[in-house]
Structure 1
Amino acid sequence: MSFQTISIGTLMMAMATTASAEWSFNSGPNPNAFIQTGNMTLELQCNRIRFAPAGYEDSQDIVDKQGLSIRFLKNGTTEVGAFQVGAENAALQIVDNYPVEISFNSQQDYGFVLDQLAANASVNLSMVDQDISYGIFDLKGSGAAIRSLRSACDSDASQGTSYEAPEGIVYCGGGAIKRVIEPVILDNPDGEWDTRVTVNGESIRAMTAYSYFGNSEPPTGFVVALLGEDRSEFLIFSEGSANWLEYGDYRYDQCN
């Protein structure tokens, strides 16, 4: 486990942005606890963290360095512990065109991070090699949100819950240009690309995203978003007997 305990540490932080808001919990298809401010979001999922800093260049910097320092503060200046995220204990990548996703190799490591987030007053996400902060988040209310997250994740694990995009469904519609859209979940994903979407006979790779990032109220019927490698976005919905897909400004209904 890559963490260190520090009795007293005064942070010399440049370019820091502080997020003061309340933590919330979303019990949707992909349970998450999150805090959102005007231009930053920190989201905790069952086995990973998503962090959207103030600018895309910060996301790119984190991924280029393949590292992030998660520093736990009991007040505005006193550091009481830290976890150094790196290639040896996690995978870092940009998802949904912007946020950095941190997937931990060890649930024990992630458990330590959640424990510290629930117990402390604030967290500083900073560069691994300098005291320069990408963002500081208030942890007020994080304890209750993390307890709810852990309960939901444990429940899903015990029930073997699995959420997948509907397969075998073809969607038709559009405006001046009519389209036939068919998404297929791949048996053998190509890295992060776990879906193929065919539009009028032309296929692209896509990745699944089961939550509206940083949004506590997904639209009614929302199942999954498919994020294409060409930055296209396909939103799949299902409600009762109705199945449809939203792409651009148009709705495409099931046609098979």
Structure 2
Amino acid sequence: MDQANTLRKLLGHNPPQVAPLMGDMQQDYAALLARLVLEQQAKLRHVAVLFDGSKAGVPSAAGAPARADLLNFFNGQANLEDLVIKLADGQFVVPANLGLQALTQRPAWAGALLGNLHRLPVSADRFYATLPYEAVPLAHGLAGQQEWHWVVHPTASSVTRAFQGLRSTKQLSKNIRHRVIVAGVKNAHEADDVFANLLESTSQFFAQPLQYAGHLPAMAPGLRLSQVGRDMLAAGRRIARALCSADEHALA
């Protein structure tokens, strides 16, 4: 047992957990929502770190300089503390698209990441990771039964992948709390239809039914994260407030 784990055991602290935001890493919606969750946590005077698995990358959207990926840490080419990018006060990101892809294939490595969080140059209150729908074993290794968030789009591919991911979690635990955000919709009615279908098809899997956390309007094709409009930001911030409020109650 390493020194950090020994200290946690002596102090009676649980090891840190990383809350997953499951989604399509080729799309920007999960990354946008994660960015706004960091912003909301900062408003609550919490320090939050995101392991960013998105292809577009939260740091590039925020105008931050590019750095090595989490994969470089696992390959022994970089220190974890050197990968952290400060976006604003209390808001930090670790570029992790390649690293989280590797961890998805080797979910047993989740413990290595959790065991090194004490090396980060910031004392964080919350940790998040954007992960593909298929990374259920990794998400469980990082978060356990902490609340999971699913960003689902109104397409057959996204709904099918999300359903398959949700169904596979029942083999891990029926007590995981799942919240669904429907992103890329024309209106609230379309979002309601997507959620209702998922709710009905997964109702037998869980002790607690899926919870609806809101919807995000569709982005214009080719629009970058840094170019989203006020309506998108307003919708995203409402969802971020709801997720952070639920997080506060869960940890109370």
TM-score (norm 2): 0.30
Give the number of the structure whose alpha-carbon radius of gyration is greater: 1
- Which has the larger strand fraction? 1
More helix by share: 2
Instruction: Indicate the structure whose relative CO is greater, using CA pairs within 8 Å and at least 6 residues apart.
Output: 2
TM-score (norm 1): 0.29
